[in-house]
Amino acid sequence: MSVALGTTRPLPVRTTPVGDPGDLLASLPRTAPYAWVRNGEGLVGWGEAARVTVPPGPRRFAWARQWLATVLGDAHLDDAVRAPASGPVAFGSFTFDEDARGSVLVVPRAVLARRGGHAWLTTIGDAPLETYSPVRDPGRISYGDGSLSAPEWEHVVARAARRIRDGELEKVVLARDLLATAERPIDVRLLLTRLARRYPECYTFSVAGLVGATPELLIRRTGQEIESLVLAGTTPRGTGPADDLARGAALFASAKDRHEHECAIASVRDTLAPLCSALMTPDEPELLMLPNVQHLASHVTGRLADGASVLDVVAAMHPTAAVGGTPTGTAIKVIRELEGMDRAGYAGPVGWIDANGDGEWGIALRSGLVQGRRARLFAGGGIMGDSDPAAELAEAQAKFRVMQYALEG
């Protein structure tokens, strides 16, 4: 049972430097693991000092920030590190749709961090020593249709493309789900380890059953400095270096994909500009190559003007055109009409925030909801007026393979 800080006497929070822990994910106990790891650095946590389900609605991020201010502000802090992610940290997952239930914030009782050559451990109260249990393979995995079958989803894509050609909107991002069932309970630690090893450049995360490895950094705040990585435009990897090169060149030259990327960059630029005293966006995207796909990618950097916390920036940015569409309001309306499912946390913000408002939040792509022996996997893509339903289905299938690999090895 979690103990909410601020509802009883403030609990002591202590952060102390520790030696290099090696593989952060290997430190996790089986129960309720939390993680945010990239290239071997990041945070893992366990236990619950405080947990809240965030009420849905347009003010959910403001509500979350107020709750965190009460919870983290009441802590008695002994911090010998004083760096971003030291002291009390909350992990969070917000649903894609602001009207959907299921957004959650958790302050773990213990957080182990490694950043920039340093490592530290934060404990809240008398953080219990968790009993380590061996990681167990889930056994054979079987798959079944999610909310829509493949032909039904292709039909939805065709309907969306027709509405774009009719001028209702420029772009909409449509997702689909796939249901996986294992022989034995799925150990989240095994999924995290496989994802982190296979996709080290991605942010491997685990928050309240939502597990994945996202290539897309929605926002990082360190003091007043912010950074975002915008991805839009995708092609599968090739059969070898020459095919990779050809596919990457075709992606870079694709009018459809370049327009999709320009929509995403414009969305981020228009959202961040009012919050920033300086904002830099590149003139041209670059190619980001992952083990299964290539993306058009653009790094955006800036400096906040008024000291907003990372959650304030998340509130302003979500949903981006890369996961919603353009214009945003119309795209969300079309998603609700056509997609035929509740995305839950898929394509929503996922990440962490500390007591100073610093943090890192990604978009929960390449992910699944895990409960017991079952996992609900998600994938999707940007639909334009000239999108081919069969090609969009193939792209979604390629994205499913990330979590299928995590399950099957």
Catalytic residues: 171, 216
Name residue, tokens 């290997």: 26
Q: What angle, 0 to 180 degrees and rounded to 10, lies between the N-to-C axes of helices 328-338 and 150-165?
A: 150
Q: What would the two tokens of residue 107 be?
A: 């302050």
How distant is the alpha carbon of residue 140 from its chain centre?
Answer: 27
DSSP 389: H
Q: In 39-187, which ranges are E strands?
A: 41-46, 50-53, 76-79, 89-93, 104-107, 110-115, 118-124, 141-145, 171-182
Q: Give Cβ neighbours of residue 116 (< 8 Å, ≥ 6 apart).
A: 41, 83
| Distance in angstroms (rounded) separating the CA atoms of residues 341 and 407 | 23
Q: Under a CB-based contact definition with an 8 Å cutoff, are residues 238 and 244 in contact? A: yes
Half-sphere exposure of 40 (CA within 13 A, CB side): 8
Q: What would the two tokens of residue 37 be?
A: 């790891």
The H-assigned helical ranges of 273-359 are: 310-317, 328-338
Q: Name which of 350, 352, 355 is nearest 366 in CA terms.
A: 350
C-alpha dist (Å) from residue 40 to 243, 325, 327 = 30, 33, 37
Bridge partners for 204 per DSSP: 37, 213
| Distance in angstroms (rounded) separating the CA atoms of residues 325 and 331 | 5
Q: What would the two tokens of residue 163 be?
A: 């509405």
235 phi, psi to nearest 5 deg: -145, 150
Q: Name which of 96, 68, 88, 104 is nearest 218 in CA terms.
A: 96
